[in-house]
A = this chain, B = another copy of it.
Amino acid sequence: MPDINPQEFRRALGAFTTGVTIVTSCDADGTPVGVTANSFNSVSLDPPLVLWSLAKSAKSLAAFSDSGHWTVHVLSAEQEALSDRFARRGEDKFSGLETEAGINGCPLLTGCAARFQCRTSFQYDGGDHLILVGEVVGFDSADKAPLVFHGGRYALATKKTGALNLEAADEPHSFSEDFLGYLVGRAHYQFLDGIRAELAAQGLSDPEFYTLSTLLQRGAQSRAALDQMLQHSGFAGLMLPLERLLAREMVRETQQGDATRYGLSASGRRAVLFVIAAAKAREADLLEKLGDWDARVLKNLLKQMIALTDAGSVEVWRAAQGSTA
């Protein structure tokens, strides 16, 4: 037999993606035990059997092998901290947790993507682990985004979609539908499309809206700060949103010592809140169509992209300390 390097073997095993479960039972005194495991899998539909493996060195081995029953909790994306808690040794893992009574009286965890209450059918030798096969005597599930494990760390899963026939040109020097810069720009402008009617109703151009929105979020600003925002969004030098907003009395000029500051008037605040309400309606509609999972993953990845491209542009996006709103 060739030598198996344990570290390389563990890394190769990490290539197989799994969900994350917590398996619980009770020891002879009725004290609940639980461990985090990703070795769960389905085995049989008729009879309904599932399996998982427990290290023979585990403190809870006797409880699991003697009790004759255990429950597998498939964790949701929100339950990473719970997974960490049950992966550690020693502490009172159930302390402070909301639980429900299971079929055998042992506590069940809540908020999971699925739960399978099992009666042990077989216990098999599995090298340094014990393979536990159980018959499912009760189960429930909820439509929750799953917590996923891959390559030794937590991950998120998202539904796979095919190409969308976005019909971009195939010219070698142009952007294709697979160009990230194209996709994020198109997603941005199409999102804005949904609030153009409200912008028009308020008589606001995009840079005027960006100006009002900046003042709402960060409080009164200097002209230099507003110019920086316009520069960042590509509207610098193209028009004069501040002048137009001053003329319409949506923005007021104030003096703070030597410094001139520009802030929202009541009518400016009202106008921008109407547009933000439209944007929030657009958002709610989009989130419902995307679904909780995909929205979660998309936001997660956009945050990554933002962090990776953040150099130098942070100031424009950062909320001012002590801003008034």
Instruction: Please give me the residue from chain B that is nearest to A237 by CB atom.
Output: B205
Instruction: Please give me the residue from chain B that is nearest to A126 by CB atom.
Output: B43
A252 within 8 A of B: no
A19 within 8 A of B: yes
A301 within 8 A of B: yes
CB distance from A252 to the nearest CB of B (A): 19
- Given the known A-B contacts A160-B153, A175-B276, are A17 and B15 also in contact in the complex, defined by CB atoms under 8 Å? no
Size class of the A contact interface (CB-based, 8 Å): 35 or more
The answer on a CB contact under 8 Å between A158 and B158 is yes
CB distance from A194 to the nearest CB of B (A): 7
Residues 42-63 of A, flagged 1 when their CB comes within 8 A of B and 0 if not, give 1111111111010000000000
Instruction: Please give me the residue from chain B that is nearest to A9 by CB atom.
Output: B48
CB distance from A223 to the nearest CB of B (A): 19
CB distance from A186 to the nearest CB of B (A): 6
Q: In the complex, what residues of B have CB within 8 A of residue A217's CB?
A: 168-169, 171, 174-175
Among B137, B157, B171, the residue within 8 A (CB) of A157 is: B157
A304 within 8 A of B: yes
The answer on a CB contact under 8 Å between B114 and A306 is no
The answer on a CB contact under 8 Å between B325 and A169 is yes
A250 within 8 A of B: no
- Given the known A-B contacts A18-B17, A49-B127, are A9 and B44 also in contact in the complex, defined by CB atoms under 8 Å? no
The answer on a CB contact under 8 Å between B301 and A297 is yes
Segment at the B interface, from A24-32, A87-95, A307-315: A307-315
A121 to B129, CA, bound (A): 14
Instruction: Please give me the residue from chain B that is nearest to A113 by CB atom.
Output: B15
Among B127, B166, B168, B193, the residue within 8 A (CB) of A309 is: B193
CB distance from A231 to the nearest CB of B (A): 8
A271 to B180, CA, bound (A): 21
The answer on a CB contact under 8 Å between B74 and A15 is yes
A181 to B191, CA, bound (A): 7
Among B42, B53, B192, the residue within 8 A (CB) of A13 is: B42
A216 within 8 A of B: yes
A167 within 8 A of B: yes
Instruction: Please give me the residue from chain B that is nearest to A301 by CB atom.
Output: B298
Residues 162-201 of A, flagged 1 when their CB comes within 8 A of B and 0 if not, give 0110111111011101111101111111111110000000
A268 within 8 A of B: no
A225 within 8 A of B: no
